[in-house]
Amino acid sequence: MEEEEPVKTPSEHSSLIGLNDAADEFFDVSELLSYDQSENDWPSDFSPEMYSQDTHHPKLSSAAVFVKKLHDLAVQKRGYMDLQEMAREDSVLCYYGSTLPKDPTCNLACSWTAADPSTFLIRGENYLEDHKKIKAKGTLMQMVAADWLRSDKREDDLGGRPGSIVQKFATKGGPEFFFIVNIQVPGSTTYSLALYYMMNTPIKDAPLLESFIRGDDAYRNSRFKLIPYISKGSWIVKQSVGKKACLVGQALEINYFHGKNYLELGIDIGSTVARGVVSLVLGYLNNLVIEMAFLIQANTTDELPEYLLRTCRLNHLDASKSVLVKP
């Protein structure tokens, strides 16, 4: 399945030529020219003498007054627009779903791309009889975006926030459904690695996923699996992480957030069980290439064979390049 590039919001630029007509002030030329008729008609802080540098001509010509007035309006308008731009940049400093860049070449540090599904082993069609696993051949969803964030608190429900890629699709009313894995690393600074997966086909076409989405937290915790893999890194980190599938909800706290077109899993990896491994991996992030696959465990014959929801490959994550989430 071909991956779609994350939705990007173009920056806006204001100029005198590109001013919004609806917000502009318009003045009748004759009204402006009438200011030249009497000094008493000028406002106290805008007198022609202020701008005259020729003592023989205490008042500006009509044309000069007109140009000067337009210039002042342009400066005021430009200043207003600059303030608007500053406010806009501040309010949308974090477009959720675009803070970690994608790099299919795997050459850009602190970036993401999809991992090869065949790297991961999943339960085959006859797993209940032979306990054999097979190489995954594909994925149900496509990875469309990622976030690498930091904050002074845990950041939950990114998919429900205004301006997020999830909400942009929701406003269009299309069939797209998002599955978001938000891995949260607590501490004095909390880091969040959010992975956004999307599918265009109806959820009912994937019964196991539909059961997971509509199930309760206990059911979800008993089914959600992660397969980790350190494809580049030191031996000690590779050994610590391993490559064995694990039921995340059995070891870590997962908070679920369900919206109209998404399900988000907030995985808090601050438990005592994971704290040692987490601190170890964080110290080596710059030197690691981390690959992960996510799936829902199949327990019955009808549910087999398993399939991957999606994979990801994270290239040399750098904590200093995470994006600060402002209140």
What pLDDT does 178 receive? 98
Residues of the chain predicted below pLDDT 50 = 1-60, 67, 70, 75, 77-94
Percent of the residues in the chain that have a pLDDT greater than 70, as a whole number: 67
What pLDDT does 241 receive? 84
Give the gyration radius of the chain's Cα atoms.
29
What pLDDT does 286 receive? 86
Percent of the residues in the chain that have a pLDDT greater than 90, as a whole number: 56
What pLDDT does 270 receive? 77
What pLDDT does 327 receive? 74
DSSP 113-138: EPPPGGGSEEE-TTHHHH--EEE---
DSSP 269-302: --SHHHHHHHHHHHHHGGG-EEEEEEEE---STT
Number of H helices, E strands in the chain: 9, 13
What pLDDT does 238 receive? 87
Where helices occur in 181-247 by DSSP H, the ranges are 207-214, 217-221, 235-241
What pLDDT does 71 receive? 52
